[in-house]
Amino acid sequence: MRCLMARLTKWIVLGLIGAALYDQLRRPPAERTWVGQIGPVPYNFRLPSLEHLRTSLWNPDDPRLITPIPWGIGWWINLAQVHRRLSPLIEQVRQRFTVGRDEQEAATLR
């Protein structure tokens, strides 16, 4: 079953890449941007700069958690938003364990 899913995923990805290339190659050369969407799936075949890669991975100004990939087909995760959303949860867990540990230490000192 795992092998079947891997093959199916590979064929879907190859099909999307082929559709994206077809979408660009059917246009006159002056109109080719190498950026677009096939259905809901974004693609970008322009080589990104290091700055573009960095801002794609870490962009605190973008409220989206999932953003278009800077090169290729599909999406990336905006790690700045992951950090922003998980920080309060991590702090709550840290406080619970700290309070619990402080109470245990106070009980052993008595």
The band of 94, judged by pLDDT with boundaries at 50, 70 and 90, is confident
Tokens of 79: 């790690």
Give the CA angle between residues 77, 81, 84 to the nearest 5°: 145
The domain of 19 spans: 2-109
What pLDDT, in 10s, does the model give residues 57-84? Answer: 999 999 999 999 999 999 999 999 999 9
List, as own/partner pairs, every contact residues 97-101 make where C-beta atoms lie below 8 angstroms and the sequence separation is at least 24, other chains included. Answer: none
Q: Decide the pairing of beta strands 72-73 and 41-44.
A: antiparallel
How many structural domains does the chain have? 1
